[in-house]
Amino acid sequence: MTGDDKIRSAFENQDWHEIKITDSWQIFKIMAEFVEGFEKLSKIGPCVSIFGSARTSQDNKYYKIAEDIARLLTDRGYGVISGGGPGIMEAANKGAYENGGKSVGLNIELPFEQFHNKYIDRDKILEFDYFFVRKVMFMKYSQGFIVLPGGFGTMDEMFEAITLIQTGKIARFPIVLVGSDYWRGLLDWVENHMLDAKNISPEDLNLYSLVDTAEEAAEQIFTFYNKYVLKPNF
């Protein structure tokens, strides 16, 4: 098999084991993830991403809140996108799936989320090797972010969205943090240190909202799109 044949086969079968991944050839693997993501997600319609920790147990109050948020969103015709793993991601997909809504999972192999959860629609599971490709999919195909308690990955996704909106790289969409007891300390630091140091502007504080209930979180999405035309972010 020639080098060209191997590349063609890798694209068709999504199997890159036969290709020696050098810095140059890695471009093709990255392209393949973008192409598959764009092809699948361009057909799903309006969706909201729900973020949070993979380590959240089913008896945690935020697991139930994530389920309820997903049900409320799907009641109004929105699909739900999660990172595809367990914890809050599973809860989001479960709420959407059991309510008959679209349930999308953008999975990536990590120590605490090696397998996608069982509540993702079979035709809406995507597997990623690259965090940055996965984040592009979240940004491009989400009409809002709802962020429940999580770790560094959750923070990364939240601040990426805030930064892209702040700098005008993507269209404005709602970013909703759920859980005052979890987020208040961070937001106090943003408001009392970042703002005081003039590293952000006062209007930047309007890029996100803080709520405590599933109903409040969903209402932030509904209220926003009562005022703005629903459209893709890029």
Of 215, 217, 150, 143, nearest to 183 by C-alpha is 150
Assess if residue 136 is contained within a domain.
yes
Assess if residue 232 is contained within a domain.
no
Q: Are 138 and 169 found together in one domain? A: yes
Q: Are 94 and 134 found together in one domain? A: yes
Please state the pTM of the whole predicted model: 0.85
Assess if residue 233 is contained within a domain.
no
Q: Are 89 and 13 found together in one domain? A: no
> Is pLDDT at 33 greater than 70 in this prediction?
yes
Assess if residue 234 is contained within a domain.
no
Which residues, other chains included, contact 89 with Cβ-Cβ below 8 Å and sequence gap of 6+?
A: 50, 51, 52, 54, 82, 83, 105, 113, 117
Q: Are 190 and 211 found together in one domain? A: yes
Q: Are 143 and 74 found together in one domain? A: yes
Q: Give percent above pLDDT 90 in the chain.
A: 74
| Strand arrangement, sheet containing 103-108 | 125-128, 103-108, 79-82, 47-51, 145-147, 175-178, 209-211
Tokens of 82: 């999660």
- Of 10, 28, 43, which one is at a domain's C-terminal end? 43
Q: Give percent above pLDDT 70 in the chain.
A: 85
CATH code of the domain containing 93? 3.40.50.450
Q: Are 135 and 92 found together in one domain? A: yes
Q: Mind listing the pLDDT tens digit for each residue in 44-59?
A: 999 999 999 999 999 9
Split into its structural domains, the chain has a count of 2
Tokens of 190: 């943003």
Domain that holds residue 29: 1-43
> Is pLDDT at 120 greater than 80 in this prediction?
yes
